[in-house]
Amino acid sequence: MADMSMPMMSFEKLEKVFESSDGSHQALADINVDVRRREFVALVGASGCGKSTLIRIAAGLESASAGRVMVTGREVSSPGPDRGMVFQQFSLFPWLTVKENVMFGLSSQRHSRATCEQIASQWIGLIGLTDFTNHYPAQLSGGMQQRVAIARALAPSPKVLLMDEPFGALDPHTRARMQGYLLDIWANMDITVLFVTHDLEEAVLLADRVLVLAPNPGRVVGCVDVPVPRREDGRDRYDAVFKSTVAKIESLSSVCQGQDEPPLDLFRLARVDAASS
């Protein structure tokens, strides 16, 4: 039986330095975070604070410069079936059908082809796309494509789902539906989620806990528990505690934002516009 006291995933003194011809850039510094089994943790912070780097290291797609990431007590060194990953876009292979994309996630496992087909069909049914089994990604809407990406990530029964702005490219209506959809899946599966978003409301809507990162170097500057209960139909964005939790995260992240981002020079843009017309 799994040791319930052990974190499902832990970041231990994690550092990441990118070296380039311009010098070195510390993308992550001293990240220490434990994520409990079945916890839903959101990661927010200014552009460039290292959210994607952190999630890519957890996925095994990028190596750490120091420290480590542990999943179920084992150090991450490469991608593995214990971790599923969903990106903002370009998640699916365009040359594979819906079914082939979902089956691809199972290819690293020692299932027979018939079992893979059966698992893929179950997942495609679950995401409501049975009629699109043999369609290609280009024939699907953005929301449908992300449902397939989620099914592909979850089909191998990972312990951890790593999501990097998975709904960032969707329109608000589709995004809201996908949020409900993800919560339904999360409520019915033994899955631990690490979810990157720029949208603070989305973070509070979905997560048990929100980590706030700041850039230069990328580090955790705050950790906010979401005190609003999850109801059957999700959280109420108009609830006072919901709003004050969003405000708390906003104040934590805005303190460290924008110091070295040059303001957009709108005058200059207007001049460029005038010159080109």
Ligand X SMILES: Nc1ncnc2c1ncn2[C@@H]1O[C@H](COP(=O)(O)OP(=O)(O)OP(=O)(O)O)[C@@H](O)[C@H]1O
What x/- string results for residues 216 through 245 when contact with ligand X is judged by CB under 6 A? --x---------------------------
Query: CB 24 → Mg ion: shortest distance, Å?
Result: 20
Answer yes or no: are the C-beta atoms of 218 and 25 closer than 8 Å.
no
Q: Does 27 bind ligand X (CB under 6 A)?
A: yes
Residue 276 touches which member of ligand X, Mg ion, none, C-beta under 5-8 Å by kind: none
Residue 78 touches which member of Mg ion, ligand X, none, C-beta under 5-8 Å by kind: none
Q: Does 53 bind ligand X (CB under 6 A)?
A: yes
Counting residues that bind ligand X (by CB under 6 A) gives 12
Query: CB 246 → ligand X: shortest distance, Å?
Result: 18
Q: Does 91 bind ligand X (CB under 6 A)?
A: no
Q: Does 254 bind ligand X (CB under 6 A)?
A: no
Quick one: which of 162, 211, 160, 156 has its CA closest to 190?
160
Q: What stretch of H or E contains 241?
A: helix 240-255
Residue length, the chain?
277
Q: Does 159 bind ligand X (CB under 6 A)?
A: no
Which residues are near Mg ion by CB under 5 A? 52
Q: Indicate the DSSP class of residue 132.
A: G
Answer yes or no: are the C-beta atoms of 230 and 183 closer than 8 Å.
yes
Q: What stretch of H or E contains 13?
A: strand 9-20
Quick one: which of 33, 255, 56, 177 has its CA closest to 205?
177
Distances (CA, A) of 157 to 32, 81, 100, 105, 272: 26, 8, 17, 10, 52
In this chain, which of 18, 136, 217, 221 binds ligand X, going by CB under 6 A?
Answer: 18
User: What residues make contact with ligand X under the rule CB under 6 A?
Assistant: 18, 20, 25, 27, 47-53, 218
